[in-house]
Structure 1
Amino acid sequence: MADDTPDDDTLKAADAKTLHKTVRESGEDELRRPAMQLFWSALAAGIAISVSLLTEAALHAALPDTPWRELVTGFGYPIGFLAVILGRMQLFTESTITAMLPLVTRPSRWALWRTVRLWGIVLFANLCGTAIAGLAIAQGVIGNEEIRAAALTISSSITELSAGRTFVNAIPAGFMIAILAWALPNARSQSVLVIVAFTYLLVIAGFSHSIVGSSEAFLLMFAGRIGVAQTLFALIAPAVLGNLVGGAGIFAVLAHGQVRGEMPQEDET
């Protein structure tokens, strides 16, 4: 009697196809969202993600100057991501894969235009949000003087990298955030742990996340530590491009490639 029990490879393929469909349909919904809805959601995300820097700064200010301080301070980094992701706000680095899967699955002018439109609106609004937060921290509107000083100390580390190095550093960050967006539909009750694990690794490894990094860059700019040109073109732009390469380029292609040819016919029409 034949054994009809599916083997491990079949189950993995089915899981991959299910994830692909879930993430792709989420991306299709994002592509159809009105521009103003995208803008306000992304503006809120830019402000909320800056909580990462504030929490890191609060921990940094409260802890003694020891070799392990940075490892503990890093636990503040996931807080902004938890607020944004669990709050269903629009974050640019998450959309690198969610918006890319519909395009690579059903290439069309409409999908290409909508993808570029989504990225443009979300990135602009995210940066507006981080600029608002950076200005508020620089002017002492948020937090006390100790937190402001700690935030400036933490943020100054991004100026140690050249534009080229920032670009390279941002590729694994984009790749990992894309993995996070891919894994979350299966995480269910472990969502918080998954978000914390991935984003904590980002900060302790020193990878460059364009949106969190922009809150640091804007803080330094509004505090008079760096100029506008360095902020936009040496710090933020290379990180954005690196995140795109890692998320929309490398991971999205790999995620789609593993199920291409195995997806049901109705998914490809």
Structure 2
Amino acid sequence: MTKEESNQKNIDSEIHNSASESKQNNSTKKSHGEILKEQICEGQETYNKKPSSIILSSVTAGLEIGFSYLLICNLFYFLSDKFSETTIFKAIALVYPIGFILVILGQSILFTEQTSLLTLPVLNRKRSLNSLFKIWSLVIFGNLIGGFLIALTLIWIGPNLKLFDIKTIETIALHVIKPDSFTILISAILAGWLMGLLSWLLSSATETISRIFIIFLITGTMSFTGLHHSIIGNVEVFSGMISSENIEFLDYIRFQSLALFGNAIGGAFFVALLKYRAFIYNVDIN
């Protein structure tokens, strides 16, 4: 057995032992190793799914996240003549998490939530880097397609039900793409970091109410601070692009590429340097 194989065996054994000890203690607080093992297993489950299943689940997530957009537009339109735009964009944090709650508790596959989960099996040498990029591509494709479909639906039904108007769609989209490219990239990295943290925290929680609170806390923070999320941002900017002459295709491509890249970096960075590496540094691999 090579030194590299021996090191990996020690890491796997330590993760397993840490998880087993936590269960034997019947503690309500899960150990680092137990959470890490659950995250790796959950990531592996996604890898084991058929591509058609992954795409369908990802499309579903893209559709479901649209309910956040529906509420965002409706709230903005409702408050537009009562408060300033700055105040309204802060208040949006109250409804922004709804779509994420539907997606995550419904176990649909959302790219930003899965970024860290899918990275862990690669870090633990259970999957290859090529397989990671392949599955990321499938999930992103499904999420974007679902976003396109719900955007087309909402920009039609919203004005017809007088929930919001085209001006609202344009204002929200312009607000999302307003920062310069570097700002959007860093903002997306921070959002990806938070989503990686969300996945980790959800493994620590067992009760549904606790999970809902955690999702609300993390995604509400993203909304309140204006951090860029590639999947709900896809719905926001795509809707604006097809509804307004002030938002061009290049604006959409600029935002979407930066947001996806930033979210991916944030999620992978969070897992690689602050959770997985922190754990294995405590493993004796000499």
The alignment's TM-score, normalised by the length of structure 2, stands at 0.81
Moved more, 168-177 or 247-256: 247-256
Cα distance change on mapping 1:208 and 1:263 into 2, 3 Å: same
Match of 2:191 in 1: 173
* C-alpha separation in 1, matches of 2:110 and 2:136: 9
Give the letter aligned to residue 134 of structure 1.
A
Change in Cα spacing, 1:128 to 1:249, as seen in structure 2 (3 Å) is same
Cα 1:80–1:215 shift into 2, 3 Å? same
The 8 Å contact of residues 56 and 151 in structure 1, kept in 2 or not, is answered as no
Measured in 2, the distance between the counterparts of 1:122 and 1:176 equals 19
Alignment partner of 1:258 is 2:278: yes
Distance 1:264 1:169, change over 3 A: same
Q: Which runs of 5+ in 2 are unaligned?
A: 1-20, 22-26
Is 1:155 aligned to residue 176 of structure 2?
A: no
Give the direction of change, closer, same or farther, for the CA distance of 1:260–1:216 in structure 2 (3 Å limit).
same
Residue pairs, 1:136-147, within 5 angstroms: 136-140=153-157, 144-147=161-164
1:212 and 2:232 aligned: yes
For residues 44-92 of structure 1, give each alpha carbon's deviation from its aligned partner in whole angstroms, at most 9, with x where no partner exists. 1001111111111122222353254333322110000001000000000
AA matched with 2:233: G
Within 2, Cα distance between the matches of 1:215 and 1:181?
A: 22
Kept in 2, the 8 Å contact 1:20–1:256? The answer is yes
Q: 1:231 aligns with which of 243, 252, 256?
A: 252
> What is the alpha-carbon distance in structure 2 between the residues aligned to residue 14 and residue 146 of structure 1?
44
The CA distance in 2 between the partners of 1:127 and 1:244, in whole Å, is 15
Residues 1:130 and 1:188: Cα distance change in structure 2 (over 3 Å): same
Q: Which amino acid aligns with 2:108?
A: M
- Offset at residue 105 of structure 1 (A): 1.0
- 1:100 match: 119
Q: Return the alpha-carbon distance in structure 2 between the equivalents of residues 148 and 47 of structure 1.
A: 20
Cα RMSD (Å): 2.4
Separation in structure 2 between the aligned mates of residue 238 and residue 258 of structure 1, nearest angstrom:
28
Following the alignment from structure 2 to structure 1, what is the Cα–Cα distance between the partners of residues 53 and 284?
Answer: 32
Note if contact 2:91-2:224 (Cα within 8 Å) is conserved in structure 1.
Answer: no
Separation (CA, whole Å) in 2 of partners of 1:178 and 1:199: 11
What code does the residue aligned with 1:54 have?
Answer: L
How many matched pairs?
252
User: For 1:188, what is the secondary structure of its paired residue?
Assistant: coil
Q: Distance in 2 between matches of 1:99 and 1:263?
A: 22
Q: Distance in 1 between matches of 2:284 and 2:199?
A: 23
- Report matched runs for 1:55-70 at 5 Å: 55-63=71-79, 64-67=81-84, 68-70=87-89
Aligned partners of 1:221 and 1:227 also within 8 Å: yes
Query: C-alpha offsets along residues 123-182 of structure 1, whole Å, 9 cap, x if unaligned?
Result: 011001111122222334686344244343222201211222211110110000000001
Q: Secondary structure at the match of 1:89?
A: coil
Please tell me the residue identity of whatever aligns with 1:123.
I
Q: What displacement does 1:262 show?
A: 4.5
| Structure 2 partner of 1:32 | 48
Whole-Å separation in 2 of the counterparts to 1:166 and 1:34: 33
Contact 1:178 1:247 in 2 (8 A): yes
Query: Which residue pairs with 1:3 in the alignment?
Result: none
CA contact (8 A) 2:187 2:262 kept: yes
Q: What runs of 5+ residues in structure 1 fail to find an aligned partner? A: 1-5
1:240 counterpart (248, 251, 260): 260
Decide whether aligned partners of structure 1 residues 205 and 33 sit closer, same or farther in structure 2, where only a CA change above 3 A counts.
same
